[in-house]
Structure 1
Amino acid sequence: MTAMRADQKELVERYLRGETDVVPPRDAASIVLLRDGAAGPEVYLLRRRPTMAFAAGMHVYPGGSVDPRDREAAAHWAGPPPAAWAAAFSCDTELATELVAAAVRETFEESGVLLAARADGTPVTDTTGEDWERDRLALIAGELALADFLEARGLVLRADLLRAWAHWITPEWQTRRFDTRFFLAALPAGQRTRDVGGEADRVAWLPVAEAFEGFRDGSLTMMNATAATLRDLTAHPDVASAMAAPRRIRPILGRPVLTDGRLDYLYDGDDGPVGLAELVEPLGARPSGG
């Protein structure tokens, strides 16, 4: 369970009494960026600044809300078509296009890593030049749409570098809510992450097992969705294994339970409701709810 501030406790209590107008969640996408390390897969995590309105102080993956213009990236696309992603995430093809494009755009904005290639198939490598930085900042500011960025540079979005992984929805009592689809992607050869996003006060590559243990011992604060993703990744010895793993993706929405000022969540599992402990316990120890 998690101790709550007084204002959070009041919000949860009002929700449980049926006094809250539930805020519709915004569609969002996030990429779990991976690379192979000496101790197994490593994951790229950003710690959001304590002043951020959502998930302040939390360790997260690159990601953010869908921009309606993201759908225009379908004209600059390589790899599985939007229909394949729509089937994976149980949504329509327009939203699937936006989700894939948003994941690629947000990852470039927040890490400097671009999952794209030139029209002849040559992958993008170094993105550290001043011209790349100007475009990255223009994307963040909304002055440049992803499709226009790709077209101007003669690039295509590499949907084939992504892997659909999970679907989490922010609990209904919260005032800022996101309907987030999570993807996996391996760090492309020749590229490197950079601390460029502005929303984070720390970025790091950590072994997946170490990051998950940090959640369990309280040294790394993160949302349940982030922790559950790490938990699932601990089953894989390398990035290729994770990228090839079969996944059954369904929306996961936690129902709050408040006990003596402490918060826990129940999730719908295959055999009925399970708590957070069951959801993020290491694989093989308990049944998983997600």
Structure 2
Amino acid sequence: MSEKKSGALIPAATIMLLRDGDKGLEVFMVVRHHQIDFASGALVFPGGKIDKHDSAPEVRGLCRGADGLDDTLLALRVGAIREAFEESGVLLAYDRKTGKLVAGSRLDEMESWREPLNRSEKGIAEFLTHFDLELACDMLVPFAHWITPDMMPKRFDTHFYIAVAPEDHVAAHDGGESVDSVWIDPNEAVREAEAGTRTVIFPTRMNLLKLGKSANMEAAFKAAKADKIVTVLPKVEKRGEGAVLLIPAEAGYAVTEEPLENIMG
């Protein structure tokens, strides 16, 4: 599932970790390191490329909620949870001894595994077996599916999920790929991007706007479960006033077109 050549689609997954704050819905986001080759310096949701270990045969038996998912869809959820753990320290997994979500007090003993997992030196199955855990794939609700336009040299086939952040897990940036983090109102993140105080790439902004239509977690999950996921593959259309990026109206976003110059900077 790795990149074979420039322009090839790279399977990826991301999790929008949610909580209800004092003023309503909040989502956890990280600021990518400026030396990262994709979305450097941008405010993004934790996520990344699917690793070869995410689709290992033994992983399925270490997941709750795998029934009904083919190998590709399962690998996407596994990768999304793994990436969230690597980038934020939040782990959506069950303790096999208790049957409940892993306690936040156990996360310190797992800290040393985050970087080896990130470098693919260790696989997720090895990690889960070592700590007697089961991935909480059943906590993930599909939210969106975006594919990078074919005009771009690096292209991702990205599945977005929403999930409730465990209350006793402390979400924080990893200090490597990400250099800052924040719990933020989705609409506030968009306002800050429009004001120029945040860098937010187009797909992230669109999904923040979509998420921001919900006042709280209950509403967000109800909407996500009711919506049909429509794949968004933006297309470029040349017009007299300049090129425009188009996304399908049936995907459910308030914006269906955007001047290309606004996106490319």
Q: TM-score range by the shorter chain?
A: 0.7 to 0.9
Aligned pair in 2 of structure 1 residues 236, 106: CA closer, same or farther (>3 Å)?
same
Matched residue of 2:245: which SS? strand
2:174 matched residue in structure 1:
196
Q: Distance in 1 between matches of 2:75 and 2:216?
A: 29
Single out whichever of 124-133 and 187-196 deviates more from structure 2: 124-133
Q: Distance in 2 between matches of 1:130 and 1:37?
A: 25
**2:49 touches 2:79 (CA, 8 Å); kept in 1?**
yes
- 1:133-158 Cα offsets, whole Å, 9 max, x none, are 11112211211101111111111011
2:37 matched residue in structure 1:
53
2:85 matched residue in structure 1:
108
One-letter amino acid of the structure 2 residue matched with residue 76 of structure 1: L
Q: Distance in 2 between matches of 1:59 and 1:264?
A: 23
Aligned pair in 2 of structure 1 residues 171, 197: CA closer, same or farther (>3 Å)?
farther
Where structure 2 has 5 or more consecutive residues not aligned to the other structure, the ranges are 260-265
Aligned pair in 2 of structure 1 residues 206, 225: CA closer, same or farther (>3 Å)?
same
One-letter amino acid of the structure 1 residue matched with residue 61 of structure 2: A
1:77-92 mapped onto 2 (5 Å cutoff): 77-79=63-65, 81-83=67-69
1:206 and 2:184 correspond: yes
**Partner of residue 174 from structure 1, selected from 142, 152, 173:** 152
Q: CA RMSD in A?
A: 2.4
- 1:167-222 Cα offsets, whole Å, 9 max, x none, are 00111111111000000011112111022151122211111221122233333221
One-letter amino acid of the structure 2 residue matched with residue 35 of structure 1: R
One-letter amino acid of the structure 1 residue matched with residue 132 of structure 2: G
TM-score by length of 1: 0.78
**1:22 touches 1:172 (CA, 8 Å); kept in 2?**
no
Matched residue of 1:203: which SS? strand
- 1:194-253 Cα offsets, whole Å, 9 max, x none, are 221511222111112211222333332212211111111112111122122212112101
Aligned pair in 2 of structure 1 residues 232, 219: CA closer, same or farther (>3 Å)?
same
One-letter amino acid of the structure 1 residue matched with residue 256 of structure 2: V
2:263 matched residue in structure 1:
none
1:150-165 mapped onto 2 (5 Å cutoff): 150-165=128-143
Q: In the TM superposition, what is the alpha-carbon distance from 1:128 to its structure 2 partner?
A: 6.8
Where structure 1 has 5 or more consecutive residues not aligned to the other structure, the ranges are 1-20, 84-92, 278-290
Percent identity at matched positions?
Answer: 31
One-letter amino acid of the structure 2 residue matched with residue 29 of structure 1: A
**Partner of residue 70 from structure 1, selected from 54, 63, 80:** 54
One-letter amino acid of the structure 1 residue matched with residue 75 of structure 2: E
One-letter amino acid of the structure 2 residue matched with residue 78 of structure 1: R
**Partner of residue 276 from structure 1, selected from 251, 258, 263:** 258
**1:111 touches 1:197 (CA, 8 Å); kept in 2?**
no
**Partner of residue 185 from structure 1, selected from 149, 163, 172:** 163
**1:82 touches 1:94 (CA, 8 Å); kept in 2?**
no
1:234-249 mapped onto 2 (5 Å cutoff): 234-245=212-223, 246-249=226-229
TM-score by length of 2: 0.85
Q: Distance in 2 between matches of 1:148 and 1:236?
A: 38
1:40 matched residue in structure 2:
24
Matched residue of 2:248: which SS? strand
**Which protein has the larger Cα radius of gyration, Structure 1 or Structure 2?**
1
1:267 and 2:211 correspond: no
1:29 and 2:13 correspond: yes
1:250 and 2:227 correspond: no
Q: In the TM superposition, what is the alpha-carbon distance from 1:268 to its structure 2 partner?
A: 2.5
Matched residue of 2:173: which SS? coil
Q: Distance in 2 between matches of 1:47 and 1:262?
A: 31
Aligned pair in 2 of structure 1 residues 183, 270: CA closer, same or farther (>3 Å)?
closer
